[in-house]
Amino acid sequence: MSVISRGFSGRGNAETANLPPGQYLTTDFPVLSAGPTPHIPLDRWEFTIRDEKNALLRRWDWKSFRELPTESPTVDLHCVTRWSKLGTSWDGVSLDTLLSDVHADASYVMAHSYGDYTTNIPLHELKNRKAWIAFRFDGKDLEPEHGGPARLLVPHLYLWKSAKWVRGLQFMREDKPGFWEGLGYHIYGDPWREQRYSGDQ
Ligand SMILES: Nc1nc2c(c(=O)[nH]1)N[C@H]1C(S)=C(S)[C@@H](COP(=O)(O)O)O[C@H]1N2
Ligand SMILES: [Mo]
């Protein structure tokens, strides 16, 4: 009884309200990767923050990264191919923690991944508990297909901004397109404003 009423009324209405325009709900977790899945041994993994000229500002290896305080956000995911998955649970390190004492003369970052994927994001979109480097999904170590050992998680933007296998952020003074943005996807990618392609408002 409780299962039926939750499925049909309360939860259904709440979920529809959380669905951006043009999206449909899915409960599985599709894998979308532009290339092969890189496999990064933890003893070779690193996450770096670099300035515009590529100078190293911060570096964590897996051990020092995992010693940082973690958060456990529950967030909704919206892929530009129109599936949304609501209420996903993650463990990760907040970008507020990683960027806390880094001073940048820059308003944008390029996220770089192992395997060469890139995506651009305004720096302020990574702050104020809106973005994480996530290493666990649903209580389990993040699967390689979904970006393990660790991926960027910026759930308030379309999911292509959440770079899997992330290896670092580079500050940029001016905005530049990353991989999908350079192929015609929107430079910003707000699902609530349906910013799918570069011509969209
Ligand atoms: N490194 C990397 N990150 C990536 C991608 C990719 O191809 N390579 N695809 C993006 C796209 S288009 C989406 S929708 C999500 C998909 O994440 P998932 O495979 O965990 O569902 O990852 C994003 N991050
Ligand atoms: Mo996507």
Give residue 57 CA to ligand 1 midpoint distance, Å.
26
Residue 37 lies in a domain: no
Residue 181 lies in a domain: yes
pLDDT tens by residue, 133-179: 999 999 999 999 999 999 999 999 999 999 999 999 999 999 999 99
Phi and psi at 14, nearest 5°, equal: -65, -40
Residue 128 lies in a domain: yes
Contact criterion met (CB below 8 Å) for 117 and 165:
yes
Strands (E) located in 56-117: 56-61, 74-78, 83-94, 108-113
Residue 198 lies in a domain: no
Paired sense of beta strands 46-50 and 24-25, if any: unpaired
Provide the 8-state DSSP code for 148: T
CA nearest ligand 1 atom 9, residue: 33
- For residues 75 and 105, what is the distance between their CA atoms, to the nearest angstrom? 30
Give residue 8 CA to ligand 1 midpoint distance, Å.
31
Q: How confident is the model at residue 14 (pLDDT cuts 50, 70, 90)?
A: low
CATH for 131: 3.90.420.10
CA distances from 78 to 96, 161, 199 (A): 22, 10, 19
Contact criterion met (CB below 8 Å) for 198 and 167:
no
Residue 200 lies in a domain: no
Residue 39 lies in a domain: no
pLDDT tens by residue, 42-81: 999 999 999 999 999 999 999 999 999 999 999 999 999 9
CA nearest ligand 1 atom 11, residue: 160
- For residues 156 and 28, what is the distance between their CA atoms, to the nearest angstrom? 19
pTM of the model: 0.93
68 CB within 6 A, ligand 1: no
The count of domains in the chain is 1
Residue 32 lies in a domain: no
Q: How confident is the model at residue 2 (pLDDT cuts 50, 70, 90)?
A: very low
Residue 199 lies in a domain: no
31 CB within 6 A, ligand 1: yes
**Which domain range does residue 89 map to?**
2-11+21-27+44-193
Give SS3 for 198: coil
